[in-house]
Amino acid sequence: MTIGVDQERLVNEIEELALISDAEAPAVTRIVFTPTDLKARAWLIARCEKAGLAVRQDPIGNIFARWTGSDPSLAAVGTGSHIDAIPNAGKYDGVVGVLGGLEAIRSLRDSGFRPKRSIELLLFTSEEPTRFGIGCLGSRLLSGTLSADAARKLLDKAGASIEEVRRNAGFQGSLEEVRLPDGYYKAFVELHIEQGPLLEQQKIPLGIVTKIAAPASLRFSIAGVGGHAGAVLMPDRRDALCAAAELILAIESAARTSGAVDTVATVGICEVFPGAVNSIPSRVDLTVDIRDTNLERRDAVMLAIQAARQTVAVRRQVPIHEELLNADAPAQCDPSITETLSQCCVKHQLAFIPMVSRAYHDSLFMSRTAPVAMLFIPCRNGYSHRPDEYASREDIGRGVTVLAEALATLAA
């Protein structure tokens, strides 16, 4: 079987999809269930249908594009990723796994391969946490990691619930229907840019992910005392932003002193109220992202951060409310699937290294319901979640070729 990936077609599709965005090119912003997201989804569905795949969408908007195998009763082989993008992001994060998965299927079909097991391309809803505060909504619900009841409690910044937003976007049915039975997929393989510098630095074309780091996120709301910036003297202040500043540095220190370089913590959102130059901040909301490849170390850092919260609150006499948004276990990729990927790399004489994924992905949650593995391709300087994110057509082509070979092996 000769797998002929059409790099030209694939790169053109990546460029075309990147233009369906709420940001000035080259940046991409595509927030879940916005009109732009819905337009991008319709664009993708049209391409899947043009490729002869049977398409369905579930009540949270996960898209399933199936190449039915000769024995449809067998558990399918899944591949896919996401196309939602955080504000001011790049055009490859997630997209390489969705359009690359589509191209893998097309190139297999054009090579004359016919699968015994169905091969299913998935587009997961809301991999990014931007709108509802936690990421991987679609794969969490599909794998049973998030219950329908818990999902219904999630609100966006405007106070709109998932129910409201998804139904307005045209997704009917109940969220209880999203959960797929364990074993629904024989295997799930996700192609993704590395979002780190190792492959490029080591000049290795492919990474086989053995483990996906454990993500957690917290929200802190610091209640200070507002007032006139000129009239309130310093000894009389309880400035919420100064307290936040102390807490942010304590968060950074907790990650830096965890004992391993694998621990990361980021305060990506800091909202100051009332946000006037001559008004003492009365309230600050912080959202914190904490990760580690080791669960115990990650949890220990969270405890250190909670202790720091307590210390700052007492010393500065500002109540600090804490809300846990998510605290997920890491995922171990399935050795038999990683072995299949290794053999496919060898077959195509492509070098690879085993890697840990420091970013989370839908595969983290798919691992709760099926054997999974991920395939990484290099991205320039390791940049991601920024407009200059870039993967070359040759690297994308190599990733899709190995993905196609792996899908054929798993679906034979």
- With beta carbons less than 8 A apart as the criterion, state whether 145 and 365 touch: yes
- Tell me whether residue 100 or residue 226 sits nearer to Mn ion (CB atom): 100
- With beta carbons less than 8 A apart as the criterion, state whether 243 and 311 touch: no
CA 120 to chain centre: 19
Token pair 């049977």: residue = 54
CA angle at residue 141 from 137 to 142, to 5 degrees? Answer: 115
160: helix, strand or coil: coil
- Tell me whether residue 140 or residue 309 sits nearer to Mn ion (CB atom): 140
- Tell me whether residue 58 or residue 93 sits nearer to Mn ion (CB atom): 93
In this structure, the strands spanning 214-223 and 372-377 are: unpaired
CB of 21 to ligand HGY, least distance (A): 17
Which one of Mn ion, ligand HGY, none interacts with residue 135, CB within 5 to 8 A by kind? ligand HGY
CB atoms within 10 A of CB 38: 16
> Count of alpha carbons within 13 Å of 341, Cβ hemisphere only?
31
CB of 210 to ligand HGY, least distance (A): 17
Token couple for 191:
């192609």
Which one of ligand HGY, Mn ion, none interacts with residue 360, CB within 5 to 8 A by kind? ligand HGY
CB atoms within 10 A of CB 100: 33
CB of 174 to Mn ion, least distance (A): 27
Name 222's bridge partners: 284, 320
Identity of residue 398 = R
Distance CA 104, CA 348 (A): 15
Residues that bind ligand HGY (CB under 6 A): 127-128, 135, 359-360
CB of 105 to ligand HGY, least distance (A): 24
CB of 395 to Mn ion, least distance (A): 16
CB of 87 to ligand HGY, least distance (A): 13
Which one of Mn ion, ligand HGY, none interacts with residue 67, CB within 5 to 8 A by kind? none
- Tell me whether residue 239 or residue 289 sits nearer to Mn ion (CB atom): 289
153: helix, strand or coil: coil
Which one of Mn ion, ligand HGY, none interacts with residue 115, CB within 5 to 8 A by kind? none
Closest residue to ligand HGY: CB criterion: 359
Token couple for 26:
């080259």
Q: Does 196 bind Mn ion (CB under 5 A)?
A: no
CB of 380 to ligand HGY, least distance (A): 17
- Tell me whether residue 128 or residue 200 sits nearer to ligand HGY (CB atom): 128
Which one of ligand HGY, Mn ion, none interacts with residue 395, CB within 5 to 8 A by kind? none
- Tell me whether residue 213 or residue 243 sits nearer to ligand HGY (CB atom): 213
Instruction: For the segment 199-238, give every residue that binds Mn ion (CB under 5 A).
Output: none
Distance CA 226, CA 232 (A): 9
- Tell me whether residue 61 or residue 115 sits nearer to ligand HGY (CB atom): 61
Strand blocks (E) in 315-392: 320-327, 331-332, 352-357, 372-377
* Site track 91-110 with Mn ion (rule: CB under 5 A), x = hit: --xx----------------
- Tell me whether residue 59 or residue 80 sits nearer to Mn ion (CB atom): 80
Q: Where do contacts with Mn ion occur on this chain (CB under 5 A)?
A: 93-94
